[in-house]
Structure 1
Amino acid sequence: MVDHGPRTGAKVALTFDADMTDGMLASLRAGRVKSYANLRILDLLEREQVPATFFLTGKWVKRYPDVTRRIAGNPRFELANHTYGHAAFTADCYDLPRLPVDELAGDVAKTFEVIAPYGGRQTRYFRFPGLCHDAAALDALAPLGVTVVDGDVVSGDPFATAWKPLVRAVLDHVRPGSVVIMHVTEANAAMTDEALPHILAGLRERGLVPAPLSEVLTEG
């Protein structure tokens, strides 16, 4: 399990979680929300040729196959695993429904199977929903050979109502080797695309360079 890479060099990892629960799918079907895929984030990263790593849920991939193909088709982007339906892997995890311990490995394996056909830069990186994990959850995933990645810089973008606090949350804590956690789920992280240009500018001012997660974790 890792929170960040070596503190040498200048590389940092920008990671974006793509959550998708049954409740979120219901909101889409009912028209209560427009989208859980923030294409403005992809537009900006592509335009400025910024590397990033996307932690995808299986249900998000199935809902947004074209967006997944777009991510997989970019050689600067990496694909990682964020469970199949963003259920909790422990008790008391942000009111998420909990999966039984004996279903955890199957859930993660299924997600890799959903992502695999898209190709691109696939990884064995995995992030728990809500970063909630315990010894039982880690033991359950051990046979899969995943690297569990939390992160040391939490943007706080879910349900944020202003972009400036997100910029401060990232730039006040980012260091060489940092793993920054953001979300690409537009309807419940609506300020991320507004904050991102300012985050990128702040990284440049600090001499920090976004890089794929695999490069950040092996730096030095």
Structure 2
Amino acid sequence: MSAEPIAARPQPGAVDPGRTPPIVDHGPRGQKVVALTFDADMTPSMLAALKSGQVKSYANLAILDILEERRVPATFFVTGMWAERYPDVLERIAAQDRNEIANHTYRHAAYKPNCYTLEQLPRTEMTADARRTFEVLAPFGGNQTHYFRFPGLCHDAAALTALAPLGVTVVDGDVVSGDPFATAAAPIVRAVLDRVQPGSIVVMHITEANAAFTDEALVPILEGLAQRGLRPVKLSELLASVP
């Protein structure tokens, strides 16, 4: 892995530190391109399930196989804990120039009250939590970014203020696949293809044990995008013309 610090590379989507982060949920609608994003969640309870043998894996390698075989660009929002648990998988992601790496917090705790069933992160720890993840991700190299995604897409003014010193761009998404809750591939495919349009940011997961059908849904999704004339691109390419 490269030891180059993250601050030494260009940061797609970065803004001036101290400014309240911009929030984007889609790119320009004028071009027939979309961004496929995959969240790599990891919480202390997920890590404990792995260590106890209760869960086999939170890294769906079949997704990477499909993306690599079809040469499809993707952006991965990675928690620091996931990177530490799966360094070999993150190295594989970083080695592909078609991929980008973004920040999904350190331990996938909520930055806003009442965000699903997620643990609540104290306000005083939010800045350090996000900064720690950038520090964990930096040595992996690849196409590092300053894009940031909140767990559960939950954020408020206090959370945004906490991130202001880090110069991030907050990325939500206008097409939420629902893959963590799916019991089959078909609902994931429908959720994506029924909502997708030019400029969409699609939210999926690479966490195999709690998003078990994402790999099975991915090929029909890619074929459906092609039928609609929609081409997957890197998130930075999709957002290049966003102010």
For residues 1-220 of structure 1, the aligned pairs below 5 Å read 1-219=23-241
Q: Report deviation, 1:94.
A: 1.2
| AA at the equivalent of 2:37 | T
> CA separation in 2, counterparts of 1:74 and 1:44?
13
Q: Which 5+ residue runs of structure 2 have no aligned equivalent?
A: 1-22
Which secondary structure state, in structure 2, belongs to the residue aligned with residue 180 of structure 1? strand
> CA separation in 1, counterparts of 2:221 and 2:49?
30
Is the deviation greater in 203-212 or in 92-101? 92-101
Which secondary structure state, in structure 2, belongs to the residue aligned with residue 54 of structure 1? strand
Alignment: residue pair count: 220
| Length-normalised TM-score, structure 2 | 0.89
* Runs of 4+ with >4 A deviation: none
Which secondary structure state, in structure 1, belongs to the residue aligned with residue 46 of structure 2? helix
Which secondary structure state, in structure 2, belongs to the residue aligned with residue 218 of structure 1? coil
Q: Report deviation, 1:201.
A: 0.1
> CA separation in 1, counterparts of 2:131 and 2:51?
27
1:21–1:86 Cα contact (<8 Å) kept: yes
Alpha-carbon displacement from aligned partner over 1:152-192 (angstroms, at most 9, x marks no partner): 00000003111001001000010111000000000000000
| AA at the equivalent of 2:152 | G
Which secondary structure state, in structure 1, belongs to the residue aligned with residue 76 of structure 2? strand
Is the deviation greater in 90-99 or in 195-204? 90-99
> CA separation in 2, counterparts of 1:67 and 1:160?
24
| Length-normalised TM-score, structure 1 | 0.99
> CA separation in 2, counterparts of 1:170 and 1:142?
31
> CA separation in 2, counterparts of 1:14 and 1:134?
25
Residue identity over aligned pairs, in percent, reads: 69
